[in-house]
Amino acid sequence: MGNEVKCVARIDGKKDQGKALLETSEVIFRGAECRVKIAFAEMKSVAAEDGELRIKTTGGEFRFAVGLAAAEKWREKILHPKTRAEKLGVRAGMRVAVVGDREAALAKELRQNKAQIVNGNATASAELIFWFVDEKSGLGTAGKIAKNLEGAAGLWIVYPKGKKEITENDVLNAGRKTGLKDVKVVGFSPTHTALKFMVPVAKR
């Protein structure tokens, strides 16, 4: 069950048929007659009842008939969203290396998740690597970093959004050329995107 469901919505008492989407920090509904975007921060109450996700805000009441299972799942995700570190696969005790100019908040989040931060140059001992790259030319050392990956270790390449100096295709091509497999993409921050690469199962 995904985060996108065709459903009937009741918005301020009016019915509309369309598609509801659960995003990282908001619920979006695109209907035949109206479109709404409800940020988690503006929700006053969230409930799952009779197969409906019911949301109240200061601006009105919304009901989305997404089904019993989806309604409960979405309610839980809205009320208890994962931290960024959790979304990035950081677990307590995990050895994590950071290469490049890290975001200031990252180290704090890693410590809060009880990760063990290892020397960025000693990536061979890391289970997860965050590599910050600002432009395409910086991807030239991808092969060197990839050689240090062992087993199921993962490499997150973090790069700026919407910059012509480095694009998603640049990052994908650099990672794939090393023999790694791209497995996931997430919004790292309002300004950066992160692509995850891993050693293919057959080569571990």
Query: For residue 107, which phi and psi values (nearest 5 degrees)?
Result: -60, -40
Per-residue pLDDT of the chain (204 residues; tens, 9 = 90+): 358 999 999 998 899 999 999 987 899 999 999 999 999 999 999 999 999 999 999 989 999 999 999 999 999 999 998 888 888 999 999 989 888 877 778 888 888 889 988 876 656 678 899 999 999 999 999 998 888 787 677 999 999 998 999 999 999 999 999 999 999 998 888 899 999 999 888 887
Domains of the chain: 4-81 (2.30.29.30), 85-203 (3.40.50.150)
On whether the CB atoms of residues 40 and 26 are closer than 8 A, the answer is: yes
**CA 21 – CA 70 distance, rounded (Å):** 11
